[in-house]
Amino acid sequence: MKIKFTPFVRKVKYYETDKMAIVHHSNYIRWFEEARIDFLEKAGFPFEKMEAEGILMPVLEANCKYKHPSRFGDTVEIYTEITEFNGCRLTVRYKVINVTAGRLLCAEGCSKHCITDTNMRPIRTQRSHPEIFKVFSEAVISE
Amino acid sequence: MKIKFTPFVRKVKYYETDKMAIVHHSNYIRWFEEARIDFLEKAGFPFEKMEAEGILMPVLEANCKYKHPSRFGDTVEIYTEITEFNGCRLTVRYKVINVTAGRLLCAEGCSKHCITDTNMRPIRTQRSHPEIFKVFSEAVISE
Amino acid sequence: MKIKFTPFVRKVKYYETDKMAIVHHSNYIRWFEEARIDFLEKAGFPFEKMEAEGILMPVLEANCKYKHPSRFGDTVEIYTEITEFNGCRLTVRYKVINVTAGRLLCAEGCSKHCITDTNMRPIRTQRSHPEIFKVFSEAVISE
Amino acid sequence: MKIKFTPFVRKVKYYETDKMAIVHHSNYIRWFEEARIDFLEKAGFPFEKMEAEGILMPVLEANCKYKHPSRFGDTVEIYTEITEFNGCRLTVRYKVINVTAGRLLCAEGCSKHCITDTNMRPIRTQRSHPEIFKVFSEAVISE
């Protein structure tokens, strides 16, 4: 049985809007990063700890589908899940719910990552970092 | 026979780097937008003209695959192509070549758009805006 | 006697860092905006209400002095005060305290604004918007 | 007699606009950085060379006065000058001219910097780096 983490909550900043008066689409990729960092902290493996152990998690791929615009001042909740993990590669999925707009799904997407050392060489965490392996494996949600 | 447009060229800005000393991944989505706007201008249909005719091109989807990092001061060329167009929806594909790093492919991705009026209602350009329809249709590259 | 508002609190985002591994200096100007918007809300005059009444507060001037760098994951508190208000023009002062780094003052600055209508024409709020005039006047801290 | 450098020229990006449909004020601080880097290159001391010699130029202070808004697609020229240099500290002044809007002065500002080693310790360039000292001293414009 999987643990359900509380979503990451944030308000839309003024400087995140563009001349269409909606959040510029590039910012969702930044929100995904904020939500991922929050998720790792809640899962017991904060980014700072990862960096202290000499581990990086560079982004291999990112995508986002835009459903409804978000506007300045709106509160959004971002739900984050790990959907795939093989000890080295990781897929993270995000759903952005606009609370102010009546809990509309405004965007969803995912990012793919590789776990590497500080020289960007892939790591097989099963052997080298069993603690990370355990945390990530247990966090995987089967779809 | 398809017209080949010159790529969009830009240098990596200092403020686009992050603490890994590489370009933050979210910026590629912004570069795609810059390249798309440059492409539309070269194709004879600049964004300003589109907006003057009351047409918007909101982003439905965006994605990027990261192959090699780019660094401060690097010169990149972005090659842009329209790969799909049905009169209303559009797929644009991008390749980012890092010239400084020996013409390495550092990222590729695509964005999907809908052509709408200023109320975000989809437009069928065949009838309503034959000039746009012609420009976009002729720009499609069959893969 | 002046009301003391609680500071605006936020964590440093990964994408706000640059290749020196510190927060890029331009982001402090964005943090000031976040803090100002939070302050207006706490003072009883949220930005949304201002916009609903057809009032804008464009920035005339902004400055920041950088004392100590902030890093990814740090928690900062931003203290905001109105130091000048003449019914039309406004000076807002900010102090950024890095809690994680032992409550170090990491930056301080100010922004100057003009209260205008939606056509960017200055407004004398005494007569036209006494409620705004009252809120801002009462918030002024004499130095 | 002082050398006059050609200005740094750039177009306003879509993602630099905000919901007022003008360039967000924080971006001018980023433009100043772009202009400063371009200026150093033209003056014969590119940033890459500085970093290769183990020299940093952290920002101590930045400010900007906003005169007229800039809009998406506008071409701006940024004129950069060094107004003060004592071997260790540096003041750089910027003027942003909006060419599209009829060569209007849309913003002006300055930034102050300290020349340091990679541990952020101030350097007196007269002795340690006479080449930098010469380049910067000759670039100073007396007001």
Specify which of A56-70, B124-138, C128-142 reaches the highest per-range mean pLDDT: A56-70
Mean pLDDT taken over chain D: 93
Tell me the per-residue pLDDT of A8-53, one tens digit each, with 9 for 90 and over: 999 999 999 999 999 999 999 999 999 999 999 999 889 888 888 8
What per-residue confidence (pLDDT) applies to D142?
66
What per-residue confidence (pLDDT) applies to B109?
98
Query: Using a CB-CB distance cutoff of 8 angstroms, which residues of chain C are in contact with residue A72?
Result: 47-48
Task: Provide the token pair at B83.
Answer: 């790969």
B132 pLDDT above the threshold of 80: yes
- Rg (C-alpha) for chain A, rounded Å, is 16
A93 pLDDT above the threshold of 80: yes
Q: Please give the helix or strand (H or E) that residue C136 lies within, else none.
A: helix C130-139
DSSP character for D70? -
Q: Where are the domains of chain A?
A: 8-138
Domain spanning A8-138: CATH superfamily: Hotdog Thioesterase (3.10.129.10)
Nearest to B62 among A25, A58, A60 (CB): A25
CA–CA distance from C108 to each of C28, C32, C66, C111, C132 (Å)?
A: 9, 9, 7, 11, 26
Task: Estimate to the nearest angstrom the gap between the alpha carbon of D140 and the chain centroid.
Answer: 13
What per-residue confidence (pLDDT) applies to B1?
45
CA–CA distance from C111 to each of A115, C29, C36, D52, D85 (Å)?
A: 43, 9, 9, 36, 27
D1 pLDDT above the threshold of 50: no
Nearest to C29 among D29, D61, D65 (CB): D29
Q: Please give the helix or strand (H or E) that residue D37 lies within, else none.
A: helix D26-42
Tell me the per-residue pLDDT of D65-109, one tens digit each, with 9 for 90 and over: 999 999 999 999 999 999 999 999 999 999 999 999 999 999 999
Q: Which residues of D touch A (CB under 8 A)?
A: 14-15, 17-19, 21, 24, 26, 72
CA angle (D76, D82, D86) in 5-degree steps: 160
Instruction: Please list the active-site residues of B.
Output: 18
What per-residue confidence (pLDDT) applies to C1?
45
What per-residue confidence (pLDDT) applies to B142?
66
What span, in angstroms and rounded, lies between the C-alpha atoms of B43 and B8?
13
Q: Which residues of B touch C (CB under 8 A)?
A: 14-15, 17-19, 21, 24, 26, 72
Query: Using a CB-CB distance cutoff of 8 angstroms, which residues of chain B are in contact with residue A56?
Result: 20
Q: In sequence order, what are the beta bridge partners of D110? A: D63, D93
Task: Estimate to the nearest angstrom the gap between the alpha carbon of A32 and the chain centroid.
Answer: 4
Q: Which residues of C touch A (CB under 8 A)?
A: 13-15, 30, 33-34, 37, 46-48, 72-73
A130 pLDDT above the threshold of 80: yes
Which of residues B51 and D91 earns the better pLDDT score? D91
Tell me the per-residue pLDDT of C78-102, one tens digit each, with 9 for 90 and over: 999 999 999 999 999 999 999 999 9
Tell me the per-residue pLDDT of B31-41, one tens digit each, with 9 for 90 and over: 999 999 999 99
CATH class of this structure's domain C8-139: alpha beta
What per-residue confidence (pLDDT) applies to C116?
95
What per-residue confidence (pLDDT) applies to D2?
59
Contacts 24+ apart (CB under 8 A), B126-131: B126/B87, B129/B53, B129/B55, B131/B45
Instruction: Say whether B19 and C18 touch across the interface (CB within 8 A).
Output: yes
What per-residue confidence (pLDDT) applies to A44?
87
CA distance B9 to chain A (A): 20
Give A54's contacts (C-beta < 8 A, 6+ positions apart). Answer: A117, A118
Instruction: Say whether A20 and B58 touch across the interface (CB within 8 A).
Output: yes
Number of A:C CB contacts under 8 A?
Answer: 27
What span, in angstroms and rounded, lies between the C-alpha atoms of B12 and D37?
11
Tell me the per-residue pLDDT of C46-62, one tens digit each, with 9 for 90 and over: 988 888 889 999 999 99
What per-residue confidence (pLDDT) applies to A101?
97
Instruction: Say whether A19 and D24 touch across the interface (CB within 8 A).
Output: no
Q: What is the dihedral of CA C112, D36, B69, D119, to 10 degrees?
A: -90
Q: What is the SS3 string spanning C70-87?
A: CCCCCEEEEEEEEEEECC
Instruction: Work out the pLDDT band at D141, boundaries 50, 70, 90.
Output: confident
Where do we find the tokens 């308000």? A11
Instruction: Please list the active-site residues of C.
Output: 18
